[in-house]
Structure 1
């Protein structure tokens, strides 16, 4: 069972000062042959931990100690890579967006990747609860030869509990620039009866989970045929609609499925091909 939809008040029922507002700021740089964390700032209930890495990359795991976010909460993540640095940033677990009393939950991610640097931004899925109101943004600034991989996943309700998103808000905004030039811009907005909107053939055709994978860096057009072969031939995609294409030199992959766990299995397998290495351990625990 889940709580029924409530009318949204004009003013939030809880004042701003009792809401969570925090985040993490990270900067990575080369120290000899390895990438190390050079700066770390944590605020609110947000933390970053750094598992031991066995190659030149540095891995960071972001943690929300509150275990989820509600209406009026705000989280800001800032990540910067100095020239030549290589890093992977993920999250400890899925982020839960709980029912709102009217205010939006705000999640902001701002990333800068310097010359010759490479970042894999791999947060685990975001789960939207019935009545949630999420405004999320991803702003990325890339140097001319920087490499960048991003994977963002959304689960629309908790299907295992029979939950539907009869009411809610999702505004997902991406802006990615290379040398100051905008190369990718996207705004997704679903407001009101999200389940009904996703049921339309031109929108989601009944999807309960969706993922976007963005890959920028040298040689992406050469990888397209291999990625499409995986999508078309691997059994993990039997219950997943997926497509891949090249736009302005970067690779863009979309996944949709009525089964959230099927989408996750397909995404894990796909990211292994895209990244060329095992995913962070938090993805399998």
Structure 2
């Protein structure tokens, strides 16, 4: 039996001092032919680990030692890539967003990618339990020739467990700037009867999982054609995929009633866009 989600209230039921807050701050730089971690700051229950790599790239794995987030919890991630550096940032596991008693769970990410630098921002999915309230933001500042692959994924309930996100809230905010000029802005807001809203044909057509990928760099038109060819080969009832170029950014959307089918397609897409195998945490 699952407890029903509680409605949002103007005042939180739990005081702020019993909620978890923390995050990770990273800085990468080029040292000789390799990218190295130059600065690291950790707070709260959040950590970063750096697996050994065998190329010029540095990889960071973000870890939430608390095993999930609930209403009132807050996490902030900041990453700076100095000129010429190349880094991949991922997470150890999917982030579970549990039922809230009123307050939002807040995740704020700010990425700065310097001249000639390349960043792959590849966190695993956020799983929203029924009654969860997630307010998430992603802000990216790119230099003129910086390269980026950024992905964010949401699973609405654990479908493998027969669960659905009946009620709750999701607010997702993206802001991307190139040399200080805003080139991409998007706000998504779902609130109330989430499952009913996603069942509407004009909204989600029964989707239980969604993902957005944005890529910045060169040869975007060629990449777009590759993505569209892949979409043509995918069964229409498994994953709905659309892609286009907006303000010199490649924007890819995925929707699916099957979370695992969406993840399978996502792994293929991210491998093509980054030109490398995904971090090991994606397969463990």
- Asked if 1:266 is matched to 2:265, the reply is yes
1:62-211 superposed matches below 5 A: 62-211=62-211
Asked if 2 retains the 8 angstrom alpha-carbon contact of 1:2 and 1:163, the reply is: no
Aligned equivalent of 1:278: 277
Q: 1-side partners of 2:83 and 2:210: how far apart?
A: 33
Asked if 2 retains the 8 angstrom alpha-carbon contact of 1:150 and 1:215, the reply is: yes
Q: What 5-or-longer segments of structure 2 have no aligned partner? A: none
Deviation at 1:238, TM superposition (A): 5.9
Aligned equivalent of 1:45: 45
Cα RMSD between the aligned structures? 1.1
Q: Deviations over 1:10-34 (max 9, x none)?
A: 3212110110010000000000000
Aligned equivalent of 2:217: 217
Aligned equivalent of 1:247: 246
Deviation at 1:223, TM superposition (A): 1.7
Deviation at 1:7, TM superposition (A): 3.6
Q: 1-side partners of 2:34 and 2:201: how far apart?
A: 48
Asked if 1 retains the 8 angstrom alpha-carbon contact of 2:6 and 2:102, the reply is: no
Aligned equivalent of 1:25: 25
Aligned equivalent of 1:4: 4
Asked if 1 retains the 8 angstrom alpha-carbon contact of 2:207 and 2:257, the reply is: yes
Q: Deviations over 1:79-132 (max 9, x none)?
A: 000000000000000000000000000000001000000000000000000000
Asked if 1 retains the 8 angstrom alpha-carbon contact of 2:6 and 2:100, the reply is: no
Secondary structure of 1:230's match? helix
Q: 1-side partners of 2:52 and 2:33: how far apart?
A: 15
Deviation at 1:226, TM superposition (A): 1.4
Count residues in correspondence: 284
Change (3 A) 1:238 1:201: closer
Secondary structure of 2:112's match? strand
Secondary structure of 2:206's match? coil
Q: TM-score scaled by structure 2?
A: 0.98
Secondary structure of 2:145's match? coil
Q: TM-score scaled by structure 1?
A: 0.97
Asked if 1 retains the 8 angstrom alpha-carbon contact of 2:88 and 2:120, the reply is: yes
Secondary structure of 1:210's match? strand
Q: 1-side partners of 2:169 and 2:8: how far apart?
A: 12
Deviation at 1:234, TM superposition (A): 4.8
